[in-house]
Structure 1
Amino acid sequence: MTAKFIDFLATRIQFDFCLEPSFLYIFLFSRNILVDNPQDQTSRWSSDSHVPPQFLVMKLESPAIVTSITFGKYEKSHVCNVKKLQVWGGLTEDHMMLLFDGQNDPHPETFSLKHTVADMPFPVRYIKLLPLQAWGSTFNFSIWHVALSGCPDPALVRRCIHTYTLHCEREALRVCLKHLRHNRYIEAFTALSREANTRLEHPVLTRLYQACTEHDGTELVENLISRALQSGLFNEYLSGQPLAPVWRQLIPPPGAAPNTSPGMRGGHQLCCDTQTQSIYLFGGWDGQEDLSDLWCYNIPANEWSCISPDTRIQGGPSPRSCHKLCLDSERRQLFTLGRYVDSKMRTADNLKSDFYLYELDSGRWTLITEDTAEVGGPRLVFDHQMVMDAEKRVIYVFGGRVLTQSRWEGVSLENERSVSSNGGFSPAELQFSGLYRYDVATNTWTCLREDDPAPARSSSLRSRVGHSMLFHPITRQLFILAGQRNKEYLTDFFTYQVRLLLLEPKQFLTFVAEF
């Protein structure tokens, strides 16, 4: 079931609106949101009032597992745009559960919806949109476009409905059992437990309840908790608790010869090969100059080895800092991209974004591209992020500052955009790089998302520096966390569905949280 369910995740689901005589006006205009027409200000549904509850109920053509909802917006910011909303869903209009509760912004975006109960997908037939607040506090609510995605496969949905129905029945029986036991209807509780063949809770919890209510003293309770801890019943709970890291400094063994480990530096890059338990270090800035040395640290042996004191000798990259490394551990290949160039040293020749590959087994450097910008890739950037999908041989690069020849760049960071006297942008405006995909097998770059200069406190993905990005090889998602854009420190958290990127990239960006 799981594999087939994943295959249908991106399927567009058709729906219409529930018609009630008293809401005929609303029903007629609600059809506007079926069409994504951001240039037409009238292509929207608007509520009669800004006072909740105001809602729209959508009826699917048939029950389906709805995994995400996409909101299209008017091309300009609008005071009637919904700022806060909830999305409810269920098989009937009378029984719905909360699928999403969060914020919205003036930009098109997609939100993941709750679609599992007890680790099993559950279908819905009705979706209710419940706006709670507009960007203009006294204005009515407007929704411009809505699209639903998920799994409409009839056979799979029927199986999920059956499973969900059984789950609801079990939960109803457990509520009855809890009520009977709490009110000391012991005979009725015992009879229902036996007839329904349903267990109210884990046997340890049952014994714990009996120890607390039928016996005096706490010794029995303490023994039960101790045995539960030893048997691993708390492992799942403990795994969700905040971790407390313990750091240990790795010091070279006594008697190690001088210059057998890298010196102090900043702006360097590390990547870890988990198969060989090795860490590779390249480049950095030692306070005087950029470096181009390549080192390997063997974790089990606690030993450094210098692969190359200067990679230029082997035809490798020039000295650099604020670059990025990523490793294909299956094919034992290192990739490096980007670097920082001081504003006084920037010329057209040294602002080319060179892209290098290093073969760990053969010790050979290869210049893949002299300038990735000329072949559809990013311009020269620094403080970006780069991750590797080893299975598909694909590299993802996101964010980073774009280096330009402007000597005024970064002089003023107070505003992201400031208009000069001639109507253009001031020299202080900074440029950020978007999201790129590099296919190693075909040597091709693809721009997936340009920089989105959305306003502050927006839930749209904005390019940034100093962020973290990871690739999950099982769920095939990019995780993008925090960072900095100009003087604003970002605290947002996004996931990106990379397996669906080539279809419609903006459809599969999910805003997870802001902390």
Structure 2
Amino acid sequence: MSEGTRFYAQDAAPIRYQVVSSSPHSGPYEPDNIMYDEPDNTSSRWSSAHQVSGKQWLILRLESTVVLRKLKNKHPCSMKELRVYGGLTQEHMTELLHTNVKLDASPETFSLRHTNRSGHTFPCRFVKIVPLAAHGASFNISIWHIAFSGVKDEEAVARIMKSYDEHREETVMRHILRHLRQRRLLTPLQSILDRTAIDFEHPVVTKLHAAVVVEGDWTQAEAVMKSLSLENCFNDYLRLSPPRILWSYLGGPCESSPVGRAGHAMCIDSSKRTVYVHGGWDGTKCLDDFWSYDIDSEKWSNISVSTSQDKNGPVARSCHGMVFDSVNGTIYLLGRLDSEGAQSELDSTSTSGQAGHTNGEPAPNGSSHGMSDTTSPCSEFYRYHTRGVDAGTWQLLTFDTTTLGGPPLIFDTQMLIDEQSQIVYVIGGRLVDAADKPPRYSGIYSYDIRASKWKAHDLADNSRAPLRSGHCAAFDPWLRSIFVFGGQREDKHLGDMFTYDICTNTVSVMYTDGTQTHTKAFGRKSVIDFDLKEIYSFGGLQQGSTEDEMQVLETCSIYRYDTRPGVWLPSTPYRPPVVDNRRRDVEEPAARFAHELVYDSGTKTAYLLGGNPGQSFVAPPREPNDDSAQDSVRLGDFWNMRIVRLTKDDVLRQATFHIRCQQFRELCLTGQSSVKTLEFLQTNVSTVVNHEDPAEEKLFRSLLMHLLDISDGQEEAPAANDTVKPASPERWTSSLDDVIARHHQDPRETADPLEPAGQATSAHLFAQRNQLFESLLKFLDETVQQPGGSLLDLVDTSSSGL
């Protein structure tokens, strides 16, 4: 944390500003209007002259140099999306905010970024606002009033400014040092280091450069990488490396396991290593069977053929919720759609209108909305005991939860449990009520297990947490927060995420619709690992390329929320290592939605069962020319999923592979026999190659071709370096290499006096080694190595200035 941030304990003060320039405006709606807070004056706003998104802008000069903290948009505004930039000058600004703006009369306040990646606070004097999109495609963008707040105390800002200037000075000097070392100017590099107290890089990284670039000591280079591993310098690379998904097939439907289904409910008892499954839709009817799966013995047990026949047991249903309370060994069950009076109208991807009804299972139909005319639409609430004297029995806690302040009858909801506080949460879901057009959605309810009481949570700002169904929800007991994302509302697929703080009853937006790469979908399922601050999401149904097309997803995405607003990471299948030159086939579940996913946090393993494959799965017809099988097929396959992550040993293997590749290239140039170099390739290089990695496999094969070229006497192709050559002699370029070649000797052609005597290398070999060193730096934390980027990128191609 930088020195300046300690001043932020004080309350932020309002910041005055002036509009210094803008893009053209429309009629009397001048830019200066945004400085005045006049909500009753319809002319007191700025409006763009054009409707071209991203081409409008306003530049504001603040009253003094300040540290911005907040931006407030206080009145209705047709602006849907905007970016905000800030800096000390108009020419050099950095992005402070990228967000969406809601379309209503409520004021909005946005936090502005005021620290850089290294944690140093930076001041601002100018702000640039760039509207990107309007809520209506045929309307010009309007802004009524914008206000800023921040730290403007002169003494505080002066200290922040001093600290920031020192940071900039040190950063520039570190870039210069990097540039000198890349140009083989080791003597001036060392002279600067001797005269200053600049922390250029970790001392072990300096040893790595000496071993790789200066001395070509490959044994020492490998030893230094091991030292860096012991110093825990690979953490950033390990954290940011895309995780790999390892699926294992546990079996399919048979007489001793659940039949294919979707819209079922599932929960897990991690302490007893048991998975429970109830109900669902098999393509023709709702189910009421009840199963358990013993993870250790890998066997299913049928607890009940029909819970509707059990005393106090639930009737057949789908699209309901179920959670397990490990403290008391009980299961809670709520919500339903049943098959009386329902037709499977929607099933998957046939039409977009029907696909908006449910999580994939029986669509509401007629006057009963999935209920028969004789069935009372009451919201029953059940508890099942797995331990103690009541083990194996159902208890009907409430015939209708609405009579006790609980949720109405809903489906496509999410149930979570806070075991520490003994509270069950019911998040969202669609009401089973055919009379409502458009449909209605449930909010957030909680059930206190100890007090046997329901509570409705009225949010202060529902607009930031729109009600929905078919969404995902996950609870982090350490943060005391519930994450809600995705789903649908009427015919709209949602792509936002918000958190609900159960202690303060407040909502915080993690990201708005369209600002993350995560796919908008409903019918996805997710689980959380709160120790790792990760959410795993699989499958779902999303809008296709046309309005009438729906697409079933097969991807597994991982969301990391250790920093705000978090980030979705792509995942790739884990490919087991090659054994005896034989590759194992990779197993993966088919695309689906309306499946179920549970997570064992102790073993870091997720379990997936069933689902609706939509049109991505082809089932054999029951009879010749019978197409009904395709409409009714439901999956019954059972899988487990583990996240395979890189380890420090994996990083060391990759680094060793790159080091030995360069060692092999140089062996080819020493005049040793082809037999010895080939033996080195087979015994030293091949043993550290991941042959399942296409990039490593390609590089390894290129080494053999390199040996053959050398053996045939062909000239070695020059390696790529860090400069760009012109495409032709006539093309103008400001490349430093060309300037040096025309006027001066390239310093990389001559050994530096600090290089060991008798170990001078050619410029070509120096470039190869330097490229290897740069590639090894990608494994290291940013805090221990030289700065990234190049000084050449700071030179403006249109002038000689910066």
Take 2:122 and 2:128, find their aligned partners in 1: how far apart are those partners? 17
Matched, 1:384 2:413: yes
Kept in 2, the 8 Å contact 1:379–1:433? The answer is no
1:242 to 1:105, Cα distance in 2 relative to 1, 3 A: same
1:435 is matched with: 443
Matches within 5 A, 1:239-254: 239-251=239-251
Take 2:466 and 2:440, find their aligned partners in 1: how far apart are those partners? 9
Matches within 5 A, 1:215-226: 223=222
Give the counterpart letter for 2:443 in structure 1: L
1:101 to 1:366, Cα distance in 2 relative to 1, 3 A: same
Take 1:307 and 1:103, find their aligned partners in 2: how far apart are those partners? 49
Matches within 5 A, 1:143-154: 143-144=143-144
1:61 to 1:295, Cα distance in 2 relative to 1, 3 A: farther
Please state how far the C-alpha of 1:317 moved relative to its aligned partner: 2.8
SS in 2 for 1:291: strand
Please state how far the C-alpha of 1:100 moved relative to its aligned partner: 1.8
Take 1:476 and 1:153, find their aligned partners in 2: how far apart are those partners? 36
SS in 1 for 2:175: helix
Please state how far the C-alpha of 1:28 moved relative to its aligned partner: 6.7
Matched, 1:294 2:290: yes
1:177 is matched with: 177
Matches within 5 A, 1:256-405: 261-287=257-283, 289-311=285-307, 313-341=310-338, 342=342, 343=365, 345-347=371-373, 349-362=375-388, 363=391, 365-405=394-434
Take 1:259 and 1:22, find their aligned partners in 2: how far apart are those partners? 75
Q: TM-score, normalised by structure 1?
A: 0.69
Please state how far the C-alpha of 1:323 moved relative to its aligned partner: 0.5
Give the counterpart letter for 2:378 in structure 1: K
Give the counterpart letter for 1:174 in structure 2: R
Which structure features the higher share of strand residues? Answer: 1
Take 2:330 and 2:114, find their aligned partners in 1: how far apart are those partners? 40
Kept in 1, the 8 Å contact 2:47–2:141? The answer is yes
Give the counterpart letter for 1:86 in structure 2: R
Please state how far the C-alpha of 1:365 moved relative to its aligned partner: 4.3
Take 2:91 and 2:278, find their aligned partners in 1: how far apart are those partners? 61
Deviations 1:464-491 (A, max 9, x none): 443322223334444334334555554x
SS in 1 for 2:382: strand
- Worse-matched range after superposition: 89-98 or 329-338: 89-98
1:444 is matched with: 455
Aligned counterpart for 2:478 among listed residues 450, 474, 482: 474
Kept in 2, the 8 Å contact 1:89–1:127? The answer is yes
1:130 is matched with: 129
Kept in 1, the 8 Å contact 2:475–2:482? The answer is yes
Take 1:282 and 1:295, find their aligned partners in 2: how far apart are those partners? 6
Matches within 5 A, 1:15-164: 15-19=14-18, 29-33=33-37, 40=40, 42=42, 45-46=45-46, 52-56=56-60, 63=67, 66=69, 71-74=73-76, 81-89=78-86, 97-104=94-101, 106-107=103-104, 113-114=112-113, 117-118=116-117, 120=119, 122=121, 128=127, 130-133=129-132, 135=134, 141-144=141-144
Give the counterpart letter for 1:175 in structure 2: H
1:416 is matched with: none
Kept in 2, the 8 Å contact 1:100–1:113? The answer is yes
1:184 to 1:465, Cα distance in 2 relative to 1, 3 A: same
Identity of aligned residues (%): 29
Give the counterpart letter for 2:516 in structure 1: A
Take 2:132 and 2:493, find their aligned partners in 1: how far apart are those partners? 26
Please state how far the C-alpha of 1:339 moved relative to its aligned partner: 0.8
Please state how far the C-alpha of 1:84 moved relative to its aligned partner: 3.9
Deviations 1:28-50 (A, max 9, x none): 743445x8x5xx46385426866
SS in 2 for 1:190: helix
1:513 is matched with: 516
Give the counterpart letter for 1:444 in structure 2: K
SS in 2 for 1:315: coil
Please state how far the C-alpha of 1:130 moved relative to its aligned partner: 0.8
Q: Which runs of no fewer than 5 residues in structure 1 stay unpaired?
A: 253-257, 407-426, 453-459
1:54 to 1:286, Cα distance in 2 relative to 1, 3 A: closer
Give the counterpart letter for 2:200 in structure 1: L
Higher RCO (C-alpha under 8 Å, 6+ residues apart): 2
2:501 is matched with: 498
Deviations 1:279-301 (A, max 9, x none): 22222234554333433323233
Kept in 1, the 8 Å contact 2:378–2:400? The answer is yes
Take 1:374 and 1:222, find their aligned partners in 2: how far apart are those partners? 72
Take 1:390 and 1:184, find their aligned partners in 2: how far apart are those partners? 62
Give the counterpart letter for 1:496 in structure 2: T
Kept in 2, the 8 Å contact 1:399–1:432? The answer is no
1:144 to 1:238, Cα distance in 2 relative to 1, 3 A: same
Take 1:495 and 1:340, find their aligned partners in 2: how far apart are those partners? 27
1:412 is matched with: none
Matches within 5 A, 1:402-417: 402-406=431-435
Take 1:147 and 1:307, find their aligned partners in 2: how far apart are those partners? 62
Take 1:120 and 1:329, find their aligned partners in 2: how far apart are those partners? 41
Give the counterpart letter for 2:331 in structure 1: L
Kept in 1, the 8 Å contact 2:445–2:457? The answer is yes
2:610 is matched with: none
Kept in 2, the 8 Å contact 1:377–1:436? The answer is no
Kept in 2, the 8 Å contact 1:278–1:299? The answer is yes
Take 1:437 and 1:265, find their aligned partners in 2: how far apart are those partners? 28
Take 2:409 and 2:427, find their aligned partners in 1: how far apart are those partners? 12
1:180 to 1:54, Cα distance in 2 relative to 1, 3 A: same
Kept in 1, the 8 Å contact 2:30–2:45? The answer is yes
Kept in 1, the 8 Å contact 2:414–2:427? The answer is yes
Kept in 1, the 8 Å contact 2:407–2:445? The answer is no
Take 1:394 and 1:158, find their aligned partners in 2: how far apart are those partners? 50
Please state how far the C-alpha of 1:170 moved relative to its aligned partner: 4.6
Take 2:148 and 2:503, find their aligned partners in 1: how far apart are those partners? 15
Please state how far the C-alpha of 1:209 moved relative to its aligned partner: 4.4
Give the counterpart letter for 2:275 in structure 1: I
Take 1:473 and 1:400, find their aligned partners in 2: how far apart are those partners? 22
Take 1:94 and 1:333, find their aligned partners in 2: how far apart are those partners? 63
SS in 1 for 2:243: coil
Please state how far the C-alpha of 1:322 moved relative to its aligned partner: 0.9
Please state how far the C-alpha of 1:201 moved relative to its aligned partner: 3.1
Indicate the RMSD between aligned Cα atoms, in angstroms: 5.0
Take 2:125 and 2:374, find their aligned partners in 1: how far apart are those partners? 58
Kept in 1, the 8 Å contact 2:48–2:56? The answer is no
Give the counterpart letter for 1:334 in structure 2: I
Deviations 1:485-506 (A, max 9, x none): 555554x131324257635x4x
1:415 is matched with: none
Please state how far the C-alpha of 1:22 moved relative to its aligned partner: 9.4
Give the counterpart letter for 1:483 in structure 2: G
Give the counterpart letter for 1:271 in structure 2: C
